[in-house]
Amino acid sequence: MSLRFHLDTYTLALEIGALWLIPSMCYKLHVYTSFTSGWIDRLTALLASASPRDVAPIWKVGTLFNNKLRGEFFTAPLGRHGHTCLLRETTCALAACGVLCSVFKQYTVNPLDFPIPAAGIEPIPRARDLDMRVCAACRDLMQKKHREMCEAFWDTLPEELGLGTWAELRALKARDLGQSVED
């Protein structure tokens, strides 16, 4: 899907009050703004009729990501507590930081879909480096920590954007679509 589609969906959601679409649209637009060349001009032009209040949530996603995900994961990818390391923990910690620094741009673009290699998946060229430089126990710990951080980020995103909780947004969606909350 295109930047134009996501911007149109976002502006329509704002116009009709479909707040339940806003968190995912803001995240998608954050992804676009992070890697699309010339994005700032296109985003500015496409949102020219939008108010600064409507544009702010898109920028806030990047700030939230920097505050909640990137810092801790990049400085302590294996956590701050000890664990069973098949190699020496220091070796794995240094290797993990090195690999993460080498894929920093890919990570900052789309942290929730950032691939830490698992089960033979090879989503980015440097993912193999992590498998080769970090023991299995440390890799598993990184996967677990990253998944938990992403879940916490996503779980709190609507509240951070001032939209209420996911439960409240699901109730609004059900009301808007004429469904029961369980659907």
- First-to-last alpha carbon distance for the chain, in angstroms, is 26
Average pLDDT of the chain is 75
**CA angle, corner 9, sides to 4 and 11, nearest 5?**
95
In a domain, 183, yes or no: no
42-46, 66-70, 114-118, 173-177: the lowest-pLDDT one: 114-118
In a domain, 82, yes or no: yes
121: three-class secondary structure by DSSP: coil
**How many folded domains does the chain comprise?**
1
Condensed to tens digits (0 to 9), the pLDDT of residues 92-121 reads 777 777 777 766 666 666 777 665 554 444
pLDDT at res. 21: 94
What are all long-range contacts of 23-28, with beta carbons under 8 Å and residues at least 24 apart? Answer: 23/157, 23/158, 23/161, 23/163, 23/169, 26/57, 26/58, 26/60, 26/61, 26/157, 26/161, 27/61, 27/112, 27/157
Single-letter amino acid, residue 9: T
**3 pLDDT above the threshold of 60:** yes
pLDDT at res. 105: 65
**Closest C-alpha among 164, 142, 160 to residue 30:** 160
In a domain, 32, yes or no: yes
Chain-centre distance for alpha carbon 121: 19
In a domain, 40, yes or no: yes
**140 is in which domain, residue-wise?**
3-177
Polymer length in residues for the chain: 183
In a domain, 182, yes or no: no
Specify whether the CB–CB gap between 127 and 42 falls below 8 A.
no
Instruction: Report the distance separating Cα 146 and Cα 130, nearest Å.
Output: 14
Q: How many other CB atoms are there within 10 angstroms of residue 43's CB atom?
A: 19
CA torsion through residues 148, 153, 158, 160, sign = positive
51-65, 72-86, 97-111: the lowest-pLDDT one: 72-86
pTM for the model stands at: 0.73
